[in-house]
Structure 1
């Protein structure tokens, strides 16, 4: 496996505005699904749907993202940054507008399907921008900050949607969110200069050959951690309302707190990677911490103890929400620069497949059992698989002379 030399010290320092664009590009795509979660009791009551149908909405977003990840990942190796930003921000605006006029489950399902591609290309796009614009010594930190855009979106949605829904209704909240996303699109296009598309020959060469085996281990970790992450993100407000009698706004705030902790944790994990920490060790710590967080949520429901919800939320934000930082930063090291888009697409496919399955599994188990206990147990089992994959990655790295695993 080839590795890239560090960027020369004379490399220009990238502008802060570019980092803001990357954070926004990561955060805008999930606004729809975080919004669905934040006002889930209103949507379920207003449309008269079941918990499993609601889980299908969140699952549809990520199934659509998973299906489009590989092709859009390859596209990111040749399309201009502006073209990709139009897909990310413009696709989100369209999805939010469709949700704003949704009067039935099927229209809301269509909005969910439209939101998927905007999310699936965000990691390949932002990873490529970092590889081409940021000196190597700073890439880990930039990865951590730009990935925190997802949790910033979770925080925004947890506070924005319940508050606006009480004023304009849940459909009005999605309409106003579309205006916010359109404003971010204008800002992003203003900050990114025009550029020529990369030649197709480069993209063709980059699609040949096998990706390094660790990419697939990272994708497996992304799948199982994504399953638990989105099952928790989507159903946490509903769990808090139904199992612990939280008011809607307080339940949304719980998701927001997870986002706040997640923003900080992603920056911290990104800095750890930048300082040379082993990906396998960090991923093992995250997996075990995530198991502890699920145990807190399970105990909170069993004992009706709100304090354990907040403990579980904090552990969720501090651990599993940081996994994408580590896997994305590691991919930048183990994969040649001309294949970043393709490798990021594989990683995104695993993550979004997990994102799709998690909410559907949680919804089905909640409907079948009348409680969330079985769902939390399934999430915890997924995190244990993550721990096993981290150990496999550690063992594999010990026998292969790759800088990503020997640092």
Structure 2
């Protein structure tokens, strides 16, 4: 197989990043939205939770769907669904319309991993795959950077409604580009290997352990992503644009970390060892965020932001790369769907729990401690993966 073109890699990055534009945009201008619509913090957490609940509910079915549908059909679902969600958000005048917009955005996000993983398996040579996984997963953090910088700045000019309308136009342009650059593929028959006897066999244990890691890390990841700008404004007195920039910095570091960790996987590093290090670093990061508010030290917040980007935001690269190793090509979509279900369930619960705890306690300390507990559980899951790998080495890699 010839080397895959860079244009396809850009499409994969965009396919991963376009869906979360609404989530990150809402977070970046959360003080404006809460003020304009009279929402509580727990209602805002419900918004963030709803998008990922919507993603989690359909992730397993959409994973299987990606094993059967064409790439063009899946790309239209990802980008077109995002455009629709952003347009609805741009027209929202109350909480319920915003809630509808995030529910629409869910399926577009849940199919992004199965779709892009399948494209990597079918269109990218083996030698490029781990590196490409790292780069394409960084699209999520690129989205965080774009939303953290673009949406607040555009909101000062157009209002937050106009900013989401501008984001919808951007997503529509990316859809046009993606459809032009997708590789040609033969039509898939209705009867495929994904529906054969092998499809009924249980997925291997590592897939479920990766899904558990994705759940606990996702809980803390999205609680942090969603409430970081609001925490910076309300506790550390950051102006709105600087608070959005904090989320953007996390995205920049996250892009870099995902590329670096993807390269480490390409070099044959043990996934469990990397995940242990990432989870331990994430615990230190959340302690920095907790200390920033307790001591009123903005420097600790920036340290926490950097660690958040360097550790937990990179975990998705490891789990997705390893899933491609432990399942056959015809089951990549199904396994990716299980992984996405764990991740998006954590994404759904994290912001909702954080918002409830913030309203109930009048602060963020209890929420940060809950996030830290989730990361400690990630360490435990990664140690289980290491023990499994010692007993049953995976094909092509260690544990």
1:87 matched to 2:77? The reply is yes
Contact kept in structure 2, 1:157 and 1:256, CA below 8 Å: yes
User: Which residue number in structure 2 is paired with residue 114 of structure 1?
Assistant: 104
User: Which residue number in structure 1 is paired with residue 195 of structure 2?
Assistant: 204
User: Which residue number in structure 1 is paired with residue 185 of structure 2?
Assistant: 195
Residue 404 of structure 1 deviates from its aligned partner by 5.2
- Deviation digits for residues 86-144 of structure 1, max 9, x if unmatched? 00000000000000000010000000000000000000000000001111121110000
1:31 counterpart (21, 33, 39)? 21
Contact kept in structure 1, 2:271 and 2:398, CA below 8 Å: no
1:128 counterpart (111, 118, 139)? 118
Task: Supply the distance in 2 between the matched residues of 1:127 and 1:46 (Cα, whole angstroms).
Answer: 40
User: Which residue number in structure 2 is paired with residue 336 of structure 1?
Assistant: 328
CA RMSD, Structure 1 to Structure 2 (Å): 0.9
User: Which residue number in structure 2 is paired with residue 166 of structure 1?
Assistant: 156
Contact kept in structure 1, 2:216 and 2:378, CA below 8 Å: yes
Contact kept in structure 2, 1:330 and 1:404, CA below 8 Å: no
- Indicate how the Cα distance of structure 1 residues 64 and 197 shifts in structure 2: closer, same or farther if over 3 A, else same: farther
User: Which residue number in structure 2 is paired with residue 184 of structure 1?
Assistant: 174
Contact kept in structure 2, 1:298 and 1:376, CA below 8 Å: yes
Q: Unaligned regions of 5+ residues in structure 1, if any?
A: 1-10
- Indicate how the Cα distance of structure 1 residues 201 and 129 shifts in structure 2: closer, same or farther if over 3 A, else same: same
Task: Supply the distance in 2 between the matched residues of 1:115 and 1:334 (Cα, whole angstroms).
Answer: 30
Task: Supply the distance in 1 between the matched residues of 2:370 and 2:223 (Cα, whole angstroms).
Answer: 10
Task: Supply the distance in 2 between the matched residues of 1:113 and 1:166 (Cα, whole angstroms).
Answer: 26
User: Which residue number in structure 2 is paired with residue 224 of structure 1?
Assistant: 216
1:44 matched to 2:31? The reply is no
Contact kept in structure 1, 2:19 and 2:78, CA below 8 Å: yes
What is the TM-score when the length of structure 2 is the normalising length?
0.98
State the SS of the aligned residue for 1:200.
coil
- Indicate how the Cα distance of structure 1 residues 138 and 258 shifts in structure 2: closer, same or farther if over 3 A, else same: same
Contact kept in structure 2, 1:101 and 1:171, CA below 8 Å: yes
1:352 counterpart (332, 335, 344)? 344
Aligned residues: 397
Contact kept in structure 1, 2:268 and 2:397, CA below 8 Å: no
1:272 counterpart (264, 269, 274)? 264
- Deviation digits for residues 275-332 of structure 1, max 9, x if unmatched? 0000000000000000000000000000010000000000000000000000000000
What is the TM-score when the length of structure 1 is the normalising length?
0.96
Task: Supply the distance in 2 between the matched residues of 1:256 and 1:67 (Cα, whole angstroms).
Answer: 29
Residue 200 of structure 1 deviates from its aligned partner by 2.8
Residue 403 of structure 1 deviates from its aligned partner by 2.9
